[in-house]
Each structure stands twice: as C-alpha cells, then as structure tokens.
C-alpha cells in the first residue's frame, strides 16, 4: 500500500476509534439526596388535561422551576385553575405528530428558560373497537400519535440535551395494555402502540446513556380521565371491579405523579430503561 493510503487508512481508523466522552450521571460528593425537581424545566406533552395535567401538578408541587404543556388543544378550566396556583405552568400549542411543531416548542422552552431538563412523552389516544372491525386508517392514526409522536419527541429532546450538555430525563407514558388486554374495552392496536412505546425505551436508554440521558416509561392502569369516561358508566362496573381484583377504583391522575417526579429527578441517576406499572394491581397480570 502507498504511504499516503496507509496514512489515510490509519487516520480514519483513529478517527472511528476515538471514544465519545461518557457523560456520567454519578451524583457529585455534595449531592443532597433529596428527591426534588428544584431548578428543573420540564416539558410534558398532552398536559392540558388528564394524566399529563396530573403529572404537571405533582412536578410543580415538587419544586419544578417551570413546567410546559405541549398540547394541541386550547387549555380548559382545569388547566387555568392549576396555572392560578402555579404561574410557572405554561402552555405551548404543539402537535406531537409534526416534528417541526415539536422542534419549535422545545426551542421556545429553551429560549424562554435557557434550558430543558426533562421531557414526558405523554400525549396519546385510544379507540375501542373489536379487532375484526379495525381499518388501516384507524391503526395509522393511533400509531402516528402514540408511537411516532413519542419517538420524535424523545429524539428532538435528546438532541437538545446533547447540544446543551444537559443530563436529561425522558419518560414515556405507556399503559398496562402493553402487558395484557384491557378487558373492559379491548383495543388490540392501542395495546400494540403502548407495547412499542415501552419497548423503545429500553434501546433508547442503552443508546443515550453515553450522553447522560435516561429513558424510562410508566404504565398506568385505569386512571380517571376523558379517556376512561366509559368505565364508571358501565352498569356492572362494581361487579367487574370485584372480578378484576386489586384496588376497586380508578386512580386520580396525580397518584401517578410521584413516579414521574422520581424519574425526572437526579435521585434516579442510575435508573434507566425500566417501566413502572402503576395499576393498583387491578386485573393482576
């Protein structure tokens, strides 16, 4: 091989061999060990109502500096009531199915606060229908929001964390239907989207640990929101609850919040790639 070719082969080999510096999440010697979101800026998709709003409230109650709801619809009374208690809750109109819209929202968060520490990919939808009736367009809508939306929110947030040198945390809202059927209202495609969400966190966690970024998911069971409007209206609900076993009630969205706060906080510095099922052991699985 001529010397020039040898040199260029050697220099390209040394280029590829240069290890990326590993951004460790190891707490400093003076770490306080208090579970808190003090100084943290958190963006939550779909936080104008339901589970997202519950997560926002618990983040704010645990000293988050700013919480942003990235949501498609205009905020309602519940959101405004929380904003009256916590003026550091803000809304940016965002469509998580558009990468451009998510990128603009994340850029706005950083322009306003100088940082972003956490992203909760929570916006999602379901459709209850027998499996034999589903058509392609309905599946595409579910996968576009629940899977593609969560994926690109995570990717855009991760790029921003890396750009800013921030050891960010990403949490996705999966579902107990990622493990087993929802017997109260079956939706095979919805369960599939949530299994995809839970699964992608493992690999994202593995790939992004070198950047100090942690990725986890939470799988709620029955939570009282617009999505579960049908549940308590069911005439045989009490009987079903006895049959399902576990805690015979729906969760208040805020009962999930502590787990999100933990995963967003620096106290979970060695926790990545896991799922936390929060379902009152209803419908044991």
Ligand X SMILES: NC(=O)c1ccc[n+]([C@@H]2O[C@H](COP(=O)([O-])OP(=O)(O)OC[C@H]3O[C@@H](n4cnc5c(N)ncnc54)[C@H](O)[C@@H]3O)[C@@H](O)[C@H]2O)c1
Supply the residues annotated as catalytic: 175, 190, 194
The binder of ligand X chosen from 13, 226, 233, 284 (CB under 6 A): 226
Can you list the alpha helix ranges (DSSP code H) found in the chain?
3-17, 50-61, 77-85, 99-113, 136-143, 150-164, 188-208, 237-244, 257-264
The rounded radius of gyration (Å) of the Cα atoms in the chain is 21
Question: In angstroms, what is the minimal distance from the CB of 129 to ligand X?
Answer: 15
Task: Using the minimum distance from each CB to ligand X, give the nearer residue, 190 or 262.
Answer: 190
- How far the first Cα of the chain sits from its last, in Å, is 63
Buried b (16+ CB within 10 A) or exposed e, 158-185: bebbbeeebebbbbbbbbbbbbeebebb
Dmax of the chain from CA atoms?
83
The binder of ligand X chosen from 41, 45, 57, 66 (CB under 6 A): 45
Residues 159 to 198 in contact with ligand X, rule: CB under 6 A:
173, 175
52 touches ligand X (CB under 6 A):
yes
- String marking each residue 251-270 x if it binds ligand X according to CB under 6 A: --------------------
Residues 118 to 137 in contact with ligand X, rule: CB under 6 A:
122-126
Of the candidates 176, 232, 172, 182, the one whose C-alpha atom is nearest the C-alpha of residue 202 is 172
Task: Using the minimum distance from each CB to ligand X, give the nearer residue, 63 or 231.
Answer: 231
Residue 265, phi then psi, degrees to nearest 5 = -85, 165
Q: Where does this chain touch ligand X (CB under 6 A) — which range of 19-27, 58-66, 81-89, 92-100?
A: 92-100
Give the interface with ligand X as residue ranges (CB under 6 A).
45-46, 48-52, 71-73, 94-97, 122-126, 145, 173, 175, 220, 222-223, 225-228
């Amino acid at each position: 091989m001529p010397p020039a070719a040898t040199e260029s082969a050697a220099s390209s080999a040394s280029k590829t061999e240069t290890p990326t510096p590993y951004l460790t999440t190891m707490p400093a010697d003076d770490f306080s060990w208090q579970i808190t979101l003090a100084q943290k800026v958190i963006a939550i998709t779909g936080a104008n109502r339901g589970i997202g709003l519950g997560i926002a409230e618990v983040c704010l109650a645990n000293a988050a500096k700013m919480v942003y709801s990235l949501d498609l619809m205009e905020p309602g009374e519940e959101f405004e009531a929380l904003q009256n208690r916590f003026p550091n809750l803000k809304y940016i109109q965002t469509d998580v199915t558009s990468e451009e819209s998510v990128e603009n929202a994340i850029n706005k968060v950083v322009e306003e606060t100088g940082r972003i520490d956490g992203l909760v990919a929570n916006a999602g939808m379901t459709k209850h229908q027998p499996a034999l009736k589903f058509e392609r367009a309905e599946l595409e809508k579910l996968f576009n929001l629940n899977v593609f939306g969560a994926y690109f929110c995570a990717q855009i947030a991760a790029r921003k964390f890396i750009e800013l040198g921030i050891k960010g945390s990403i949490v996705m809202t999966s579902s107990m239907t990622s493990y087993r059927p929802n017997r109260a209202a079956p939706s095979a495609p919805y369960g599939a989207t949530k299994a995809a969400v839970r699964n992608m966190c493992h690999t994202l966690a593995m790939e992004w640990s070198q950047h100090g970024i942690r990725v986890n998911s939470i799988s709620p069971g029955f939570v009282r929101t617009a999505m579960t409007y049908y549940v308590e209206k069911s005439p045989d609900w009490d009987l079903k609850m006895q049959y399902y076993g576990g805690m015979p009630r729906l969760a208040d969205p805020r009962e999930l919040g502590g787990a999100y706060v933990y995963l967003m906080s620096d106290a979970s510095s060695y926790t990545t790639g896991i799922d936390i099922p929060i379902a009152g052991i209803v419908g044991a699985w």
